[in-house]
Amino acid sequence: MHAKFAAITALVTLLGANAQKPPSFPPQVPAAYPPYDDTKVISEEFIKAPLVQEAIAYVKAVVPADVLAIKPSTYQPNTPEAPKYNDDPVKRAYWPATLATRPGDVVACPGDNQWGLTYDDGPTTKENSPGGMVSKDVRDALKAANLKATFFLKGAPTKGLPEEVKATIADGHEVAIHTWTHHPLTSLTNEQIVAELKYTEAAIFEAVGKVPAFYRPPYGDVDDRVRAIATALGYQNIMWTREPDRDTHDAAGPTGAAVRDKIVKSVKDSWFKPQKGFISLEHDVNAFVSEVGVTILKEIKAAGANLQVKPQPIGQCLNAAPYRSGPVGANQNPPTGNTVPVPGGTVTTPAGDNNKTATPSTTGTPAGNPGKSAPGSVATESPCDDEKIPIRATSTVYVEPTGTPSNSGGKKDDKKPSTTGSPVFSSAKSVSVGLATVVAGVLASVALF
Ligand SMILES: [Zn+2]
For the segment 280-312, what is each residue's pLDDT rounded down to a tens digit? 999 999 999 999 999 999 999 999 999 999 999
For residue 268, the tally of other CB atoms under 10 A from its CB is 17
Give the distance (Å) from ligand 1 centre to CA of residue 8.
41
For residue 78, the one-letter residue type is N
For residue 146, the one-letter residue type is N
| pLDDT, position 329 | 66
Q: What's the mean pLDDT in 120-134? A: 95
Q: What's the mean pLDDT in 414-428? A: 29
Give the distance (Å) from ligand 1 centre to CA of residue 156.
13
Query: Residue 75: which pLDDT band, with cuts at 50, 70 and 90?
Result: very high
Domains of the chain (ranges, CATH numbers): 2-447 (3.20.20.370)
Give the distance (Å) from ligand 1 centre to CA of residue 444.
22
pLDDT higher than 80, residue 155: yes
Give the distance (Å) from ligand 1 centre to CA of residue 178.
7
Give the distance (Å) from ligand 1 centre to CA of residue 379.
14
Q: Who's near 161: CB < 8 A, 6+ residues apart? A: 123, 124, 125, 127, 128, 371, 372
Give the distance (Å) from ligand 1 centre to CA of residue 386.
10
Residues with CB under 5 A from ligand 1 (ion): 120-121, 218, 384
| pLDDT, position 66 | 97
∠ Cα 109 111 114 (to 5°): 60
Percent above pLDDT 90 for the chain: 66
Give the distance (Å) from ligand 1 centre to CA of residue 24.
27
Q: What's the mean pLDDT in 267-282? A: 98
Counting every residue written for the chain, the total comes to 449
Which of 118, 137, 285, 304 minimizes the C-alpha distance to 214? 118
Give the distance (Å) from ligand 1 centre to CA of residue 250.
12
- Which of 5-14, 105-114, 335-344, 374-383 shows the lowest per-residue confidence on average (mean pLDDT)? 374-383
Q: What's the mean pLDDT in 232-250? A: 97
What stretches of 71-161 show up as alpha helix (H) in DSSP? 95-98, 135-144, 155-160
Give the distance (Å) from ligand 1 centre to CA of residue 181.
10
Q: What's the mean pLDDT in 238-250? A: 97
pLDDT higher than 80, residue 5: no
Tell me 41's DSSP state. P
Q: Across all residues in the chain, what is the average pLDDT?
A: 77
Query: Residue 253: which pLDDT band, with cuts at 50, 70 and 90?
Result: confident
For the segment 362-398, what is each residue's pLDDT rounded down to a tens digit? 333 333 333 333 322 222 344 554 333 332 322 222 2
* 106 and 233 Cβ atoms separated by less than 8 Å: no
Q: Sign of torsion, CA 437 440 445 446?
A: negative
Q: What's the mean pLDDT in 7-20? A: 50
pLDDT higher than 90, residue 91: yes
Helix (H, G, I), strand (E, B), or coil: what is residue 123?
A: coil
Give the distance (Å) from ligand 1 centre to CA of residue 289.
12
Q: What's the mean pLDDT in 136-142? A: 98
pLDDT higher than 50, residue 443: no
pLDDT higher than 90, residue 347: no
Q: What's the mean pLDDT in 409-433? A: 29
Give the distance (Å) from ligand 1 centre to CA of residue 182.
6
Q: What is the pTM of this model?
A: 0.76
Prior bond to 123 cis, omega within 30? yes
Query: Residue 19: which pLDDT band, with cuts at 50, 70 and 90?
Result: low
Give the distance (Å) from ligand 1 centre to CA of residue 350.
31
First-to-last CA distance in the chain? 56
* 341 and 228 Cβ atoms separated by less than 8 Å: yes
